[in-house]
Structure 1
């Protein structure tokens, strides 16, 4: 391909408009992109003054601009380029970037203009200005709203501060009341427990079975009431943040045997608590007091909700990844619709009937387990009973 053919092909297929004029401003050539941009056919432009593509006042001043350059050689567009306005055949105007080069060929001077349509760019700029203006208005509105909110928050803060002070005072009064009430209850309960034990002892020695029977009922009631008081005290200490996990090594199997013997005394007449351990060792690092409290709560529930002659399973397991504690009853099971609420404070399943309870035990267990970094779960149904599982990762 010859150089002239290559140049012609480049000009004809250029994206931007390209127009050449002679020294008098007469159009020598115009490429398809320029024709499309201005809305003319080539024969309508070629041979005419370039000013037909310009709006006023540039239309009437163009020849003067051209002669001035030819005399002074001081460029205003030629060799520099700038943004100007073009005029289409239909009279509409559009922004464009115009770059003009001076070309000398065969002892003649020509000027070649390169035209880039700026319509979309200008529209984008206008949209950006609108967005910026809208954003400023929005920021001003939001700032005003924020200031109003801050003022409202300051007022609310003062009100909340007063409310918190009142709440703190109420909390202190509640804590003092629970502690005082527990102390006042414990003293007569201890006396009743001791008197019942003595009455039972003297009744056995005198051969009066009825005394022993009623003394046993008194002792069971006192034990139940003491457990309720202990749960309320535990809740108060948990709510006030006075309980933390003091983990230390202890023998889990030894603790479990001790608790089993203790709880067997409180079980129903024919109930049996069967304890088993799995693992080559029994040393764990947890809070012994909290673990003990959790196990006692679970075994108390197992005794309460199991049948009179039921077998209660109690199992501990130690392994490389931690330890597990399980308590299984053969009781009434937990209704499906109640399971998601089971560990909530003061919640009791709908099938508990007249079985006494406060609904605090499992909530306390869950919170104690959480303090030690463990988890609690349960499985089972009314046929097989329920298995509660406490899992603790290795310390």
Structure 2
């Protein structure tokens, strides 16, 4: 029985029946899953929606709430609770976040979690409201698939238009270069030592060819600047939130149930200045690439860690235990249109590099400690906003 009702029982036994009825009504009708735990993490109340969501019977009451969590949170929940009890530093309470949960059958699913805290005579109680995001994300994935197909068609069309425009713009200087070079070759091909007038004409032709080559380079440079020009809305973000949300989205539905997944982030390097959507896109791409790389590996280990990189930068590392990178692949890893995937366009890592470099950082790949690949990228460290 909930400690609150126990208090009512001793304070005013006449209110016991109505308090229990109110509690049962709330537990049976609250639309989102509701779970109440005590300071030790023991489950005190479990709503009907929570029973349906997690697949547990009434025997779940009295157990530690960590049984509802996948790793790494499952193994670290007690230490998280103790850290909050000792320091009062909240990472979730009163904030809310998107994370993953674990059903009784061991399957995981994405959730939106909000936690509140109450102080009672018997100690602190924590109430969690959980919303299953499976259907929402499934709908989003279907929409993203459609958008991806449209985007693919759009990219192919855009590349065709770009190639056509580039060919048109470069045709004139390249034709001129060829003409000047051919003229110079013809002048130098005459028998005997070339006359001074011939030498002057050759020099003039080579000068014109050089000028046209510079013009062609300027065309390409202006086009590159036009394509890369773009502004992102950068704000102070918490790296832990970026990583946990991206990991929950990337790993849910991946089928990697036996994968060893670990997140180790430096709390002293948690605040970064970035565009949240763009950096999460980088993380999603790197995590999904890692999962795909490990599909045929006997050992499946994925680790995301962060550390201070000095000079006001934070380094984020996504490591896997896949087969690693072949030298010929590593050499062109971040170049567009280079891919080892059957249906890939080779733009993912190129886009990641563009995003990271636009944030003032850099991205590179090295062999991981697990025998696979470790992707490193850096972001600008930020300070706590003055308004909190």
TM-score (normalizing by structure 1): 0.38
Normalising by structure 2, we get a TM-score of: 0.39
Q: Which has the higher contact order (CA 8 A, sep 6+)?
A: 2
